[in-house]
Structure 1
């Protein structure tokens, strides 16, 4: 990124931010759809029942914790690869 001028750096930063937002929105949409499909089954009321609400809360908590754990593992792998000088098998 050092070889880019200031304008190119801003443009690249903007592209990366849009890509990250799109990935976040996709992940969020998948989370909502997954928890809805798993937990919501009574359409006779416009509000959530207590069982549905607790199911949704557990579902969201589970997804967030697994996402956090995966992020931590990726960071650990990245640090290990950086320390060893590159990708495994090279």
Structure 2
């Protein structure tokens, strides 16, 4: 980064900050989707302040399924990316 001009360094820093913000927003959205889905699917007894045992178990299973699904999707995406990188360019 020492070989960049001050202007180029600022531009690079700005791009890195935007990328980090996009990643953070994506993670925040995923977490929000998880909370909404598991709450809507599992919590239906509003007569107590805390979750009943059935709801606690449901939420735990829901989160585990969501995380396993997300991990599997990420793995498949990486596999597809690797395959694409190993293919020759079109037209050759």
- TM-score, scaled to structure 2: 0.86
Name which one, 1 or 2, has greater alpha-carbon Rg. Answer: 2
The separation in 2 between residues aligned to 1:40 and 1:75, in whole angstroms, is 34
Q: Deviations over 1:6-50 (max 9, x none)?
A: 221111010000011111111100110000000001000000111
Question: Structure 2 residue aligned with 1:9, among 8, 12, 29?
Answer: 12
- Alignment: residue pair count: 85
- TM-score, scaled to structure 1: 0.88
Identify unmatched segments of 5+ residues in structure 1.
none
**Change in 2 beyond 3 A, CA 1:17/1:85:** farther
List structure 1 runs of 4+ shifted beyond 6 angstroms: none
Question: Structure 2 residue aligned with 1:69, among 35, 58, 72?
Answer: 72
The separation in 1 between residues aligned to 2:67 and 2:25, in whole angstroms, is 18
Structure 2 SS opposite 1:5: helix
